[in-house]
Structure 1
Amino acid sequence: MIAVEIGLRAVGVLVAFLTLPLLVGQAEHKVMAHMQGRLGPMYAGGFHGWAQLVADGVKFLQKEDVVPARADATVFRLAPAVALVPYLVALAVIPLSPDWVAADVDAGLLFVLAAAAVGVLGTLMAGWSSANKYALLGSMRAAAQLLAYELPLVLAAASVAMAAGTLSLTGIGEAWRWWWLVWQAPALLVFLIAGLAEVQRPPFDMPIADSELVAGPYTEYTGLRFALFLLSEYAGIVVLSALVAVLFLGGWHGPLVNGPGWTLLKAGLVAIVVIWLRVAWPRLREDQLQRLAWAGLVPIALAQLALTAVVVVLRS
C-alpha cells in the first residue's frame, strides 16, 4: 500500500508538472493579448486557441536538433534537463494543503530554494557549451543575476520561517495568520522581485535580451531542446507563484473553508501578476539590476528580518 501511495503521489506531481506550466503559458498568451488590445491565439483547438501551446510543442518536435560543431556536445545536450528537472523536484514538496503534498519534508523551504537555484545552472551550461559569444555573454549575465538576487530571496524566506518557527512549508502554512499580509509585506515584495530575477522574467531578462543577444544562452538551441527551456521558464513561474501563495498569502486558508483550491487560486493570481509585469515594465539594464539587488532589496530584507526577530522575541 505504501508503494502504491508513493506511486500515486509521483504521478500526481508529474501530471501537475506537465499541465500547470502549459496553463501558465496559455494564460500568458491571452492575458498579454488583452492587456495590449489584441486577440492572441484564437484558432488552434477551436475555443479561444486553447491548444496553441500543444501546437507549438508539435512544431518544436518537427524541427531539426542541431548541435554546433564547436560546442561541448555532452554539456550542450544535458543543459535543458538540468534547467527543467529541479522545478519538478521542487513541486513535489510544495503543499496545496496539509493533506495535498507529495513529500512533506521537514526542511521543505530550504529544499525548494536549493532545488530552484540548481535550475539556473542549466542556463550557465547552455551558454558556456554553445561556443557562441552571445550565448556566453548571456550566461555570464545569468550568473551575476543569480549571485545578486539569491541573497534577498533567502533573507525574505527566512523572515517568514522565523515568524512561523519552522522550515516546513506545511508548518509555515499552518502558522500563517491574516495579519502577516501587513507584517510580512516587505518580505513578500522582496521575495517576488528576487524570484522574478531568479527565473529571468521581464523586467529581469537581461541574460536573454533578444535585442542585444539574440536569445542569450539559448541562441544555438533548436527543436525540442529549445522547447524544454521555454517549459522550464513556465515551470519556474509555477514554483514561484506556489511559494508566494504558501509563504505569504496563507496557501489553503480561505474566508469560509480551507482547501487546496485556495492555494491554486492564489498561485494563479500571482502568475497573472508575473505576466502583467512583463507587459508593464521595460527591461532593466545590468547596472540597474545590480543596484536594485544590493542597494535596494538586501537592506529591505535585512530590516524585515530584524523586525521579525524583535516581534518573535517579544511574543515568546
Structure 2
Amino acid sequence: MEAPIISTYIILGVALFVLLNSAAVCVYAERRIAAFIQNRVGPNRVGPFGLLQPVADVVKLIFKEDVTPSYGNRILHSLAPLIPVTTALMTVAVIPFGDGLFITDLNIGILYLLAIASLGVYGVTMAGWASNSKYSLLGGLRAAAQMLSYELPMGMAIASMVLFSMSLSLVDMVNAQIYWWGIFVNPIGFIIFTVAAFAEANRAPFDLVEAEQELVGGFHTEYSSMKFGMFFLAEYMHVVIGSMLITVFFLGGYHLPFAGYYAHLLPEAGTLAKAILDISVFGAKVAFMVFVFIWVRWTIPRFKYNQLMSLGWARLLPLSIANFVIIAFILMLINEFF
C-alpha cells in the first residue's frame, strides 16, 4: 500500500531534515558519551552544556580554505564527497517509520537497499584516486576491499530474515515481526548484520579506510573545508541509516515487543496517537543503536587489516551461509509437519 500523497511529502521532508542534521546531533552525543566513558568533562565551552559546539564546527569548516590538489582530477575530486551523502539519503525512500508512515513500499525494497549500499564505495574510492596521492589511493582501495567484503555476509543476514517474511518489502518485513522480533528468532543473523553495518559505515573498530597512524588521514587526506565536511556528514548519516536498518530487520521496526499479543490495547491504525507511538518506538530503537555504535568505538581497539579481512571472509561469510541454510531447513520442517 502507498502512503497518502500529502503525508509522503511530509515524511520525506522530515526524514531528510533528520538525516541532514544527524551529524550535528551524533557528534555532540559522541563527545558526551566518550567523555563519560573516559571520565572526562566533554564539550562545555560553546553554548550551554556545549550544545553549540557542532554549530561552531560547521562554521569553522565553512570558512576553511577549499584546497584541490594541483595534479588531481578536479571534477571527480569535487564530485566524490556527494556520492556517500546521496546514497545515504536515497535509502530513506523505503524505510517504514510507522504504520503507513513511509515514502514508498517497494515490493523489491530489500534489493533496492542492497543496490544503493553497493554504490557508496564509489565515493571513497573516487576520492582516493582523484586526489593523486598515494596515501589517499591506498585508503580508497582499502575502503573498496572492506566494503565489498562485508556486503556479502550482510546480504546473507538479510536473506535469512527474508525467509521469515517471505517478501522483499521492508513493510512486510516489519509486519512479520509483530509477534517476535528478528533478534529473537535469528540472533546469529542480528550479530552478523550488526558487525557488517559497522564495517560498511567505516566505524571503529573497522575504520581502516582512515587509519590516521599510518595513512595520514586515509582517503580524505587531500580534502578540506566543506568537502571534508561532506565526508564527515556521510559517516554519521550511515551510522543513523545502519541503526534504522538494524531496527527494521531485527528489532521489530516500529512495533513494541510482542505487540501482536496485545495489539487490541494499542491505538487504532491511522490515528494521531498511533503515529506518535510508532515514531517514538522507532526513534528510541534507532537512538539506542546509535549509542551502541558510539559505545563500541570508544571500547574496542581498531583491528589490523589482516584481522579485518579474515573476520569478513573466513568467519562471517561461512557463518552467514550456514545460518541461512539452517533457518531454511527448520522452516521447511515446520511447514511440512506443522
Structure 1 residues 105-120: aligned runs within 5 Å: 105-120=106-121
* Equivalent residue, structure 2, for 1:150: 151
* Equivalent residue, structure 1, for 2:274: none
* Equivalent residue, structure 2, for 1:95: 96
TM-score normalised to structure 1 length: 0.95
- Determine if contact 2:98/2:279 at 8 Å carries over to the other structure: yes
Q: CA deviation at 1:117?
A: 2.3
Alpha-carbon distance between aligned partners in 1 of 2:8 and 2:243, rounded to the nearest angstrom: 25
* Equivalent residue, structure 1, for 2:31: 29
* Equivalent residue, structure 2, for 1:266: 285
Gaps of 5+ in 2: 260-265, 267-276
Structure 1 residues 32-71: aligned runs within 5 Å: 32-46=34-48, 48-71=49-72
Q: CA deviation at 1:3?
A: 6.0
1:277 aligns with 2:279: no
Q: CA deviation at 1:9?
A: 3.4
* Equivalent residue, structure 2, for 1:214: 216
Task: State how many pairs are aligned.
Answer: 315
Structure 1 residues 1-316: aligned runs within 5 Å: 4-46=6-48, 48-176=49-177, 177-178=179-180, 180-255=182-257, 257=266, 259-316=278-335
Deviations 1:119-159 (A, max 9, x none): 22110010000011100010111111122111001000111
- Determine if contact 1:97/1:170 at 8 Å carries over to the other structure: no
Question: What residue identity is the alignment partner of 1:302?
Answer: I
Alpha-carbon distance between aligned partners in 2 of 1:119 and 1:51, rounded to the nearest angstrom: 30
Question: What residue identity is the alignment partner of 1:303?
Answer: A
Question: What residue identity is the alignment partner of 1:183?
Answer: V
Alpha-carbon distance between aligned partners in 1 of 2:46 and 2:115, rounded to the nearest angstrom: 38
Alpha-carbon distance between aligned partners in 2 of 1:111 and 1:224, rounded to the nearest angstrom: 29
Alpha-carbon distance between aligned partners in 2 of 1:45 and 1:310, rounded to the nearest angstrom: 58
Q: CA deviation at 1:10?
A: 2.9
Two-structure CA RMSD over aligned residues (Å) = 1.7
Q: Which has the larger radius of gyration?
A: 2
Alpha-carbon distance between aligned partners in 2 of 1:7 and 1:250, rounded to the nearest angstrom: 25
Q: What stretches of structure 1 move > 3 A for 4+ residues in a row?
A: 2-7, 255-258
Q: CA deviation at 1:217?
A: 0.4
SS of corresponding position for 1:103: coil
Deviations 1:157-181 (A, max 9, x none): 1111111111111110000132643
Question: What residue identity is the alignment partner of 1:63?
Answer: K
Gaps of 5+ in 1: none
- Determine if contact 1:21/1:238 at 8 Å carries over to the other structure: no
Alpha-carbon distance between aligned partners in 1 of 2:5 and 2:299, rounded to the nearest angstrom: 48
- Determine if contact 2:204/2:300 at 8 Å carries over to the other structure: yes
Q: CA deviation at 1:277?
A: 1.0
Alpha-carbon distance between aligned partners in 2 of 1:281 and 1:32, rounded to the nearest angstrom: 13
Alpha-carbon distance between aligned partners in 2 of 1:21 and 1:308, rounded to the nearest angstrom: 37
- Determine if contact 1:13/1:102 at 8 Å carries over to the other structure: no
Deviations 1:205-232 (A, max 9, x none): 1110001111100000000000010000
- Determine if contact 1:245/1:266 at 8 Å carries over to the other structure: yes
Deviations 1:228-260 (A, max 9, x none): 100000000011000001110111111575612
- Summarize the Cα distance change of 1:69–1:179 in structure 2 as closer, same or farther, 3 Å threshold: closer
- Summarize the Cα distance change of 1:207–1:108 in structure 2 as closer, same or farther, 3 Å threshold: same
Q: CA deviation at 1:4?
A: 4.6
Q: CA deviation at 1:25?
A: 2.2
Alpha-carbon distance between aligned partners in 1 of 2:333 and 2:182, rounded to the nearest angstrom: 16
Question: What residue identity is the alignment partner of 1:115?
Answer: I
Alpha-carbon distance between aligned partners in 2 of 1:202 and 1:77, rounded to the nearest angstrom: 26
Alpha-carbon distance between aligned partners in 1 of 2:54 and 2:111, rounded to the nearest angstrom: 32
